[in-house]
Amino acid sequence: MSQYRVISTRKQTALVINTKTNEQQPCFFPRKVKPICGDNVTVQTNKNEHVISKILPRRNVFARANHKGLRQNIAANVDNQIIVVAVQPEPTRDLINRYLIAAHLCGMKPIIVFNKNDIDKDFFNETNSLYQSLGYITLSTNAKTQSNFDELIDLMANKTSIFVGMSGVGKSSISEIILKQPLKTGEISKKTGKGAHVTSVTHMYKIPDITGYLIDSPGVWEYGLWKMQEPEIAAGFPEISAQNGQCKFSNCTHTHEPECAVKQAVDNREISKLRYDSYLRIIDSMKYWD
Ligand SMILES: Nc1nc2c(ncn2[C@@H]2O[C@H](COP(=O)(O)OP(=O)(O)OP(=O)(O)O)[C@@H](O)[C@H]2O)c(=O)[nH]1
Ligand SMILES: [Mg+2]
Ligand SMILES: [Zn+2]
């Protein structure tokens, strides 16, 4: 295990933390070394200049689509993906499912946080039941009164967790509660109801007391999945994966094929129609990259 971990990057410099002493230090890196937040790195010091010489093998990488539909790395060595959604701004309809697909493909444990329950405590009742029935961990929180964060803090102990979600849902507000330190948070624009994109860079923080790391990331309006094939998308739906081997065709995409066990399960109401329709829309959205 390396002694240095990348907190954030900006152009040709990175801020790193010495994981033994907790001291922070800016470093340069050569163009061919491309460190990202969360990377374990080796640092060489000559005179007063610190240079990242090597990135140690990444356990996993959280990514998203760039503007061309290619995988763009966001953060490395992440255990938990904490998906924050709020009563306001309301999540776009496939957002949670897109994040869950990424969690599965990137090898992170997803945790769904329904924040701002002070605005409307019943807003997410059905959504919450749906994801709980699928086996996901869900929490209902309120960052204003700081209520209901004990379970989340327990889940983050000794782990690296990234907060993801739309701008203005409360990622930084929740991070502040966990870190017990102020961060930049912002008002939602009265005009658009959208967040104002307060957090501008992906930044890792050491959590006091519970020895874990927290990564706060800038909000996105729509989280884009990079170009992927149907089986990868299906793998992000546990209820669809559960039907593996049951369809007539072994390469069934569960979209148009006859004798499809998934479509059967939707008809029998064993699989939620909401989730299946979302699966179809996400597959369809891949056309956008062609
Ligand atoms: N009513 C209510 N407001 C909240 C809650 N959590 C956060 N807010 C408010 O929502 C606004 C946005 O919060 P942030 O924490 O900056 O949101 P963010 O997700 O970090 O936004 P970006 O950095 O733009 O991605 C702030 O005005 C917060 O005070 C909550 O539980 N209830
Ligand atoms: Mg923020
Ligand atoms: Zn099928």
Q: With a cut of 80, say whether residue 77 has pLDDT above it.
A: yes
Nearest to 290 by CA among 64, 101, 69, 94: 69
Write down the pLDDT at residue 194.
55
Residues within 6 Å of ligand 1 by CB: 115-116, 118-119, 142-144, 165, 167-173, 185-188, 195, 197-199, 218-219
Distance in Å, CA 182 to ligand 2 centroid: 11
Query: Residue with the nearest Cα to atom 32 of ligand 1?
Result: 116
Q: What percent of the chain has pLDDT over 90?
A: 86
Q: What is the mean pLDDT of residues 25-42?
A: 96
Write down the pLDDT at residue 185.
66
Write down the pLDDT at residue 211.
86
Q: Which atom, in ligand 1's list, is nearest to the CA of 220?
A: 25
Q: Which atom, in ligand 1's list, is nearest to the CA of 142?
A: 31
Distance in Å, CA 264 to ligand 3 centroid: 9
Distance in Å, CA 214 to ligand 2 centroid: 13
Top pLDDT among 182 and 157 is at 157
Q: What is the pLDDT of residues 1-23, one digit of tens each?
A: 569 999 999 999 999 999 999 99
Q: What kind and span of H or E run contains 6?
A: strand 4-10
> Cα separation of 71 and 69, whole Å?
7
Q: What is the mean pLDDT of residues 119-143?
A: 97
> Cα separation of 23 and 18, whole Å?
5
Q: What is the mean pLDDT of residues 105-133?
A: 97
Query: Residue with the nearest Cα to atom 2 of ligand 1?
Result: 116
Q: Which atom, in ligand 1's list, is nearest to the CA of 175?
A: 15
Distance in Å, CA 266 to ligand 2 centroid: 38
Provide the mean pLDDT of the chain. 93
Q: What is the mean pLDDT of residues 97-111?
A: 98
Write down the pLDDT at residue 244.
95
Q: What SS3 class is residue 164?
A: strand
φ/ψ of 162, rounded to 5, equals -110, 135
Q: What is the pLDDT of residues 82-99, one digit of tens each?
A: 999 999 999 999 999 999
Nearest to 180 by CA among 216, 200, 203, 209: 209
Q: Which residues contact 102 (CB under 8 A, 6 or more apart)?
A: 62, 63, 64, 81, 108, 223, 225, 236
Which domains are present in the chain? 4-55 (2.40.50), 61-216 (3.40.50.300), 230-289 (1.10.40.50)
Residues lining ion ligand 2 (Cβ < 5 A) are 171-172, 198-199
Write down the pLDDT at residue 44.
94
**Residue 11 half-sphere exposure, CB side, CA atoms within 13 Å?**
1
Q: With a cut of 90, say whether residue 62 has pLDDT above it.
A: yes
Confidence band, pLDDT 50/70/90 cuts, at residue 222: confident
Identify whether the C-beta of residue 15 lies closer than 8 Å to the C-beta of residue 25. yes
